[in-house]
Amino acid sequence: MLHLRPVTAMPEEEAIWPAVESKSPATAFSERAPLRTLIAVVDAQLLDGVADSLDDEMALLAGLLSHPYITVLRYSDDGPPESVTRIDHPVRPPAAQGWIEVGPEDEAYRMFPVTACDNTTIRETGIIGDFVPAAESDDATGAYPDLEPEQAAARRRADAIAMCAASMSGAHMYITRRDYLLRVTWDLSKGVLATEPEPALDIVALYLRAQGVFEWYRSIDGSGASSVNRGMFYAYGAQTLLPGWWRWRNAIVQHVNHTSVAHKHHVDEDRELRSLAVAPLTRLQRALEARDQVHRALNQPQHGDTAELALAGLDVVLLMLMAALDATALVAERVLGLDSPRSAGWQSKAWLTSVRNADAALADAFVKDRTWSGAVILVLSRLRNSVHGVAATPLGVGTQVIGHHDTLVEFPQVDAEELAKDLAMLGGTERWGMRKVLPDRVHFDPDKLLENLFAAAVKVIDNTMVATPVESLEGAVLTDELRNIPPLRPEQKNIRRLLAVGEPPPDTSADG
């Protein structure tokens, strides 16, 4: 997931906090919106023609951007249309509401005047310095390869003016498809994140969840919205990530209902197995919440406190993903009629041997040194086991933004060479953000590690449920309706998209 960058533009960012009307009784510990207002600049043509739709990703982004916690400023090289509402200024020309405007360059002062106007406030500043001519002459990025050199230079100049105007207007992100802004490697933006709409949706959705907003749909004009509570949001997300859970859960419930014995005042039933039916879902739900905590920490300036927040969340993710996997092993133990619940675990060689005696195909799907699923389990178990020893430690490394850092993470007692062998089957160490920055020590980019491991572990958890022969449980009679997951409802589809869990890493065991 992309992350916001610290804004380093002058003047310094003002602390703007959204107004909140609490609907719950006020107490000493009642929360308000914990984050500042998110300020997003959007190329106007991206929003032109977007219509409300449950299935259109751009409509979903435009709707969420209409939330009161977010300020949107539009920009166009040609300026705002004549029809836009303007707000009077006591000594300046009226300002276009919801827009950034850039005036002609004052060549004497080498300055472009900039006016930014939200719904109430007019902010005047200017672009000063060599940013625009530097971008105009920067042909090293390969942006606009189909244009003639002079045309490409003109596009880069226009892009630089747009980005500098966004920066001087206090923006946190610029949503755009401008090729140069998405490729430039030097700090033209002064800390403003340039992003296409698709990853912008990930950040906007994360920001709103961090504010306690769990909307899965919002109309473009903000007049209508649909939301669920926190728990249901992550529960729906977990359900969509585990399509194998539907059949798995239905078979277990049928078995428990069939084997239960009703007495006059109580019912004897297999409560443990009934609870295990939902355990993977509950654990994954909590892992999703902890994943958000990691990304929220990584979206802040990196220092000791934010690194600690990220690592604390990462620990919980590792524990919950492993707990979900262990729950599926306990169910497999019961389904196969084994009798070693204390050692049940897909990472256990001894337990897999007993599984193989009952179901060779099931066991062979998770052999650690030969299968993709086995490699994922081994990586997850190695990293999870770090909670039993020396804690993961952070390392701050410099970035292209002077005075700011990124956080890397090290697992001191994990065998880096063995881990690298496992990752070779899973897309390779570079994909997972594994790198050496200090002699004899290996660190990870926490974002790449988290996202690859999360997607991979989710797939393996689902694989275990699909591969476990739950139909063999007494009383389990699965029709197609109970076997196949129902079509996702609109809220489930959108929540799945807003959580932005990517595709798992590929199986590269046969490469090379």
Measured in Å, how far apart are the chain's first and last C-alpha atoms?
29
Beta bridge partners of 398: 405
Residue 366 tokens, joined: 């998770």
d(CA 170, CA 125): 10
Q: How far is CA 228 from the centre of its chain?
A: 19
- The alpha carbon dihedral of 169, 173, 175, 179 has a sign of positive
Beta bridge partners of 175: 42, 195
pLDDT at res. 34:
82
Residue 441 carries which side chain, given as an amino acid letter? R
Tell me the DSSP string of 478-494.
--HHHHSPPPPPHHHHH
Cβ neighbours of residue 299 closer than 8 Å, sequence gap 6 or more: 3, 4, 203, 206, 207
Are 65 and 42 in contact by the 8 Å Cβ rule? The answer is: yes
Residue 70 tokens, joined: 């977010």
pLDDT at res. 264:
65
- CA-based nearest residue to 482, from 240, 242, 250: 250
Q: How far is CA 107 from the centre of its chain?
A: 44
Following CA atoms 255, 261, 267, 271 in sequence, which dihedral angle do they give, to the nearest 10 degrees?
Answer: -30
Are 321 and 457 in contact by the 8 Å Cβ rule? The answer is: yes
Residue 447 tokens, joined: 């974002």
Residue 117 tokens, joined: 């106007």
Q: What pTM did the predictor assign?
A: 0.93
The model's pLDDT over 204-244, given as tens digits with 9 standing for 90+, comes to: 999 999 999 999 999 999 999 999 999 999 999 999 999 99
The model's pLDDT over 336-371, given as tens digits with 9 standing for 90+, comes to: 999 877 789 999 988 999 999 999 999 988 877 689
d(CA 417, CA 440): 11
Are 383 and 453 in contact by the 8 Å Cβ rule? The answer is: yes
Radius of gyration of the chain measured on its C-alpha atoms: 26
pLDDT at res. 9:
43
- The alpha carbon dihedral of 217, 218, 224, 228 has a sign of positive
Are 221 and 480 in contact by the 8 Å Cβ rule? The answer is: no
d(CA 236, CA 308): 29
Are 505 and 427 in contact by the 8 Å Cβ rule? The answer is: yes
Residue tagged 């769990």 (tokens): 214
Residue 460 tokens, joined: 């393996």
At 26, is the secondary structure helix, strand, or coil?
coil
Q: How many C-alpha atoms does 447 have within 13 Å on its Cβ side?
A: 12
- Region of residue 293 (left: phi > 0; alpha: psi -120 to 50; beta: else): alpha
pLDDT at res. 189:
87
pLDDT at res. 7:
54
Q: What are phi and psi of 218, to 5 degrees?
A: -150, 135
Report percent pLDDT > 90 for the chain.
73
Are 214 and 229 in contact by the 8 Å Cβ rule? The answer is: yes
Are 72 and 100 in contact by the 8 Å Cβ rule? The answer is: no
Are 206 and 295 in contact by the 8 Å Cβ rule? The answer is: yes
Q: Say if residue 109 is exposed, middle or buried (CB neighbours under 10 Å; 0-12, 13-18, 19+).
A: exposed
8-state DSSP, 474: T
Residue 491 tokens, joined: 């809220």
pLDDT per residue, tens digit, the chain (512 aa), is 989 876 544 445 566 778 766 666 677 777 777 888 999 999 999 999 899 999 899 999 999 999 999 999 999 999 999 999 999 988 888 999 999 999 999 988 889 999 999 988 899 999 998 999 999 999 999 999 999 999 999 999 999 999 999 999 999 999 999 999 999 999 898 889 999 999 999 999 999 999 999 999 999 999 999 999 999 999 999 999 999 999 999 999 999 999 987 766 666 778 999 999 999 999 999 999 999 999 999 999 888 898 999 999 999 999 999 999 999 999 999 999 998 777 899 999 889 999 999 999 999 888 776 899 999 999 999 999 888 777 888 888 766 555 567 899 999 888 888 999 999 999 999 999 999 888 778 899 999 999 999 999 999 999 999 999 999 999 999 999 999 999 999 999 999 999 999 999 999 876 54
